[in-house]
Structure 1
């Protein structure tokens, strides 16, 4: 034992003058280690820390070492040796001490190294203290911190998954989020399964990883003994806390998932408005059991997934309804029109259910004419689609009745104004005579059409136009100017809605320039060109629908004689003679001498009737129609009376009553068409081809 008084030691300046009472209060003891003699003085408090009495201690540090576990002793020796070698002035360390009863207590030591003038270490003065309570508090803090981290992590699982599901629009989007490896990692699970309730059965719709499907479980009856089926039936989550519990509860399922090394699982019902829509299962291989807080977090997660699924289901239902309504309102097919190549396309907006009122239509008209319609009802909803359908029908009806393009547009505007709706519509109606290439265009607030020439160049066709449909009737602007365009063989007329050229943040003129370039560099075939334009619109995306109609006039397959027209006013015998002369000359010029007398007689009868039975003038039109199996001559006489001709027997004098009988006998076909406020009586004659 070293006599502490035998050697005077120089203590540090901040060492207490009388340390014993203060150190005892703080459960500290002191030691004095003479490195020359290798003896260590320990006071009574220091020995108490080692659970050793003064009688048991012989002054050798090795005696104290019997109380220290080997690993701790080795670490402490290494640290002290390093401090002595590298010139350190002090050191400190925590180590364990085994008490008499075998329990381990934490101890802390702090040593101050005293060196001589040469720097050689001569003595270590220090303290030891019981640190068990201190480290217990620290351990508790660490445990609490770990619990806080786990709680934040669990909350983060819900937040991350909910954020990912917020972008899911469809049920498949929800499945993709959950089924992906990234999604499973966020959930903290090894494997995931999800089933939806359909007609009393649970259909498995998701499983991750991909190879985790269990044979025979893709579609199961609700009463079958599987965990997902059980939670759907009971609406109560089921937490499985051990492999033994899993095997005992579900003996049919367990043998098929043993390769996954599952240690616990959570099966959660997916409930919306107190009704089950399915269930989800999360399987783990790194945990046993679930705390109350973990269970609450998982239940919240199941609720979030259920809400996302319901939102996706509603979205898909509304989208299907809107698409079905709009497709029902659009023409099921576009009729073939002699003398023209046609293409129509439609692209719905990227917003899914927000389907608007864009539409197109093609209306075959008598005399080789065709009406082309493009329009857009305000709004993006099912109401807009419904209004669009009604407008399309009335426009077709007005055009088929024979009204002029301006009248068709004006009547459609009145119809829309009288509907119980606050919507307006833009529209463009083009009536094309394919035998002559004359196109009459009327615009109601719609974007101008384009014309593509045979060399590929494209230009915008400025049309004066009027107010949109609806407002024009409300504000008394029902007069629609008519612009006339010549459509040569090989040229293409493009009608489209603004979704094709308008983009947020881009000037309309820039959009029109882009469209012109696409048309210029596009293929000659109208179907291929329409495909290219709609593909570009699809790639670009956007929140507006796109409707597109392309009409290309074909080149004549046979020589045509064109069209001749003569206006005959009542009481103007000179005009009547000119009309008869025009008919006679045209018939002979077109090589129809064999039927010249018949054509002249019928035409004269129709003109005379128009002048006698109406108060207005008559317009006589003679056309040579080609392109079919036979060449035909068509005579049209248009007047301002809406009264239709009727057959009647000749009177007693036999002077009148034979007009329609004569027309029926001498022509190869005849009929009556409504034309605006009047009518047109027409007849056709088949004539031989010219040599």
Structure 2
């Protein structure tokens, strides 16, 4: 008989028992990641990619590839948490964050991580898991949706980031601070921005509540001001009461006392490991700023710092390039017996770009004068250098007595021999001021324009050749050169030479622009300098990225 009191026979165990850790994680929708701090690469396993709604082919290990799935305000908060953990030597940590799915919906996710250090304590890797947290955070999600304050702050960060991404100058960055949609929801009654200049801080912008005080436009980094302290320590500074303003910063207190200010937050603007400025926010109510709000403000300050540094570098580089370009232009225009001249030049400020436009007036023997205007291809310092070389070459060739067609052909060959891969357009006019005879050659440039004494105004059709550099490439030194067109300029008549920056603009037919310029010259002021100013002022607000150069000559000699 069977032993009825014995235990039942044990069932056979599954062949894969116990389950492997990766199987346990996968079945419970837990993915893994490994972030190598040295290389910056972030590995995500298939489950983690699925939780982030990313396909394997959409992600190459660069954390920047997560931008479509991790909203900006969540990324800023996670970045701040990671930085705080790394700086404080924390070994483990976790955080909830939201993921934007392909359909645009937001889904709560949780991450838990461990920081691995080398024997010296330097952090090497962050290894952890990511899991679905939709159900456990239903109540927290509802509370977050009702938290209008947080929504406003995240909106500020997102809008600020969008505006800063388009900032191309320091003034553009300052305009972000003045943007009501970006900063109007911060709850601050004052926003101030200071730029570090050596051992002092210069206040460059303020908005609201009279936060700007002329006496504080320049302060020293060593002074006992909160902005100075934030720069010295390179750490954010939070002031939570009026008493703290009064006791800790007596130099500032007389300026704060009449304002509706009871708290303040000051953030150093750090770029390339050094403070370049400081952002100050003044609040009407006392109290501490929560960690989440601090993290968002830190992220915003970081974006302002990067944009401010980029804009400052762009402006410095542009100024240097523009100085080089100006040095390549004539330092003065010589007086020409028998004629009046006027020149104008304006660089289109586009970051670090400059152009290769130039003009020149060259006195020649026998009462003659050479007039040159041209434009080297490109918008950089190379274009400015090539422009200077061409201008001096034409000056040398004409001074040696070469006729216009020969001078232009030699300049074209020179440009080809410089091996710059650039070409240039140019119009050269040799004017005999005693007879009014004009001998004109053109290399791919605009025709000259003449205003007659009877009120007429017309473009002079000039037989042209290829741009300088291209003519030497396609025809060689013995090939076709530049045909000469002969015209006459009567007493009191005005000759206009210009570059295409004065007429071309995006979306407008060139013929319409040329006709508009002709009408402006025809009806413009009689005085030459006033006419030059009027022509430039008429196109001041045009969009487009080209420089503008203008040369006017009026013959005053006998017919």
Q: TM-score, normalised by structure 2?
A: 0.70
Distance 1:470 1:263 in 2: 68
1:532 to 531, 534, 539: 534
**Residues 610-635 of structure 1 deviation map (CA, whole Å, 9 limit, x = unaligned):** xxxxxxxxxxxxxxxxxxxxxxxxxx
1:512 to 505, 511, 514: 514
Assess, with a 3 A threshold, how the Cα gap between structure 1 residues 489 and 150 changes in structure 2: closer, same or farther: same
State whether residues 214 and 257 of structure 1, in contact with CA within 8 Å, keep that contact through their aligned partners in structure 2.
no
Deviation of 1:142 (Å):
6.6
Q: Secondary structure at the match of 2:300?
A: helix
| Residue of structure 2 in register with 1:146 after alignment | 146
**Residues 394-423 of structure 1 deviation map (CA, whole Å, 9 limit, x = unaligned):** 100100111111110111011100113011
Assess, with a 3 A threshold, how the Cα gap between structure 1 residues 515 and 224 changes in structure 2: closer, same or farther: closer
Deviation of 1:275 (Å):
0.7
Distance 1:345 1:270 in 2: 40
Deviation of 1:167 (Å):
4.4
Structure 1 gap segments, 5+ residues each:
1-136, 561-691
Comparing both chains, which one has the higher relative contact order based on Cα–Cα distances under 8 Å and sequence gaps of 6 or more?
A: 2
State whether residues 440 and 486 of structure 2, in contact with CA within 8 Å, keep that contact through their aligned partners in structure 1.
yes
| Residue of structure 1 in register with 2:346 after alignment | 347
Distance 2:352 2:248 in 1: 44
| Residue of structure 2 in register with 1:312 after alignment | 311
Assess, with a 3 A threshold, how the Cα gap between structure 1 residues 230 and 519 changes in structure 2: closer, same or farther: same
**Residues 249-282 of structure 1 deviation map (CA, whole Å, 9 limit, x = unaligned):** 3343334313324332211111001111121111
Distance 2:150 2:551 in 1: 60
Distance 1:158 1:416 in 2: 51
Residues 100-115 of structure 1 aligned to structure 2 (within 5 Å): none
Distance 2:470 2:509 in 1: 26
| Residue of structure 1 in register with 2:216 after alignment | 217
**Residues 294-320 of structure 1 deviation map (CA, whole Å, 9 limit, x = unaligned):** 110111111111112112211211221
Assess, with a 3 A threshold, how the Cα gap between structure 1 residues 170 and 506 changes in structure 2: closer, same or farther: closer
| Residue of structure 2 in register with 1:465 after alignment | 464
| Residue of structure 2 in register with 1:522 after alignment | 524
Q: Secondary structure at the match of 2:518?
A: helix
| Residue of structure 2 in register with 1:399 after alignment | 398
* Structure 1 stretch displaced more, 161-170 or 525-534: 161-170
Residues 170-569 of structure 1 aligned to structure 2 (within 5 Å): 170-179=169-178, 184-209=183-208, 211-214=210-213, 216-286=215-285, 288-351=287-350, 353-476=352-475, 477-556=479-558
**Residues 179-205 of structure 1 deviation map (CA, whole Å, 9 limit, x = unaligned):** 576665243211222222111122222
Distance 2:138 2:304 in 1: 39
Distance 1:141 1:387 in 2: 62
Distance 2:360 2:224 in 1: 57
* Structure 1 stretch displaced more, 506-515 or 215-224: 215-224
Deviation of 1:444 (Å):
1.1
**Residues 455-477 of structure 1 deviation map (CA, whole Å, 9 limit, x = unaligned):** 12112211112111111111224
State whether residues 234 and 268 of structure 2, in contact with CA within 8 Å, keep that contact through their aligned partners in structure 1.
yes
Assess, with a 3 A threshold, how the Cα gap between structure 1 residues 419 and 282 changes in structure 2: closer, same or farther: same
Deviation of 1:515 (Å):
1.9
State whether residues 446 and 468 of structure 1, in contact with CA within 8 Å, keep that contact through their aligned partners in structure 2.
yes
* Structure 1 stretch displaced more, 452-461 or 199-208: 199-208
Q: Secondary structure at the match of 1:538?
A: coil
Assess, with a 3 A threshold, how the Cα gap between structure 1 residues 511 and 140 changes in structure 2: closer, same or farther: closer
Distance 1:537 1:506 in 2: 13
Assess, with a 3 A threshold, how the Cα gap between structure 1 residues 312 and 470 changes in structure 2: closer, same or farther: same
Q: Secondary structure at the match of 2:551?
A: strand
State whether residues 495 and 550 of structure 1, in contact with CA within 8 Å, keep that contact through their aligned partners in structure 2.
yes
Distance 2:179 2:441 in 1: 55
**Residues 507-550 of structure 1 deviation map (CA, whole Å, 9 limit, x = unaligned):** 22222222222222223332222222111122334322221111
Distance 1:370 1:526 in 2: 18
Distance 1:494 1:243 in 2: 66
Assess, with a 3 A threshold, how the Cα gap between structure 1 residues 508 and 204 changes in structure 2: closer, same or farther: closer
Distance 1:150 1:479 in 2: 73
Residues 75-90 of structure 1 aligned to structure 2 (within 5 Å): none
Deviation of 1:335 (Å):
0.9
Distance 1:537 1:142 in 2: 55
1:169 paired to 2:174: no
Distance 1:234 1:283 in 2: 20
State whether residues 160 and 186 of structure 1, in contact with CA within 8 Å, keep that contact through their aligned partners in structure 2.
no
Deviation of 1:332 (Å):
1.5
Deviation of 1:159 (Å):
1.6
State whether residues 180 and 209 of structure 1, in contact with CA within 8 Å, keep that contact through their aligned partners in structure 2.
no
Distance 1:349 1:488 in 2: 35
Q: Secondary structure at the match of 2:350?
A: coil
* Structure 1 stretch displaced more, 460-469 or 514-523: 514-523
Deviation of 1:213 (Å):
3.6
Distance 2:540 2:338 in 1: 31
Q: Larger Cα Rg: Structure 1 or Structure 2?
A: 1
Structure 2 gap segments, 5+ residues each:
1-136
Residues 17-28 of structure 1 aligned to structure 2 (within 5 Å): none
| Residue of structure 2 in register with 1:648 after alignment | none
Assess, with a 3 A threshold, how the Cα gap between structure 1 residues 154 and 540 changes in structure 2: closer, same or farther: closer
Task: Compute the RMSD of aligned alpha carbons.
Answer: 2.4
Q: Secondary structure at the match of 2:299?
A: helix
* Structure 1 stretch displaced more, 366-375 or 154-163: 154-163
Q: Secondary structure at the match of 2:539?
A: helix
Assess, with a 3 A threshold, how the Cα gap between structure 1 residues 509 and 403 changes in structure 2: closer, same or farther: same
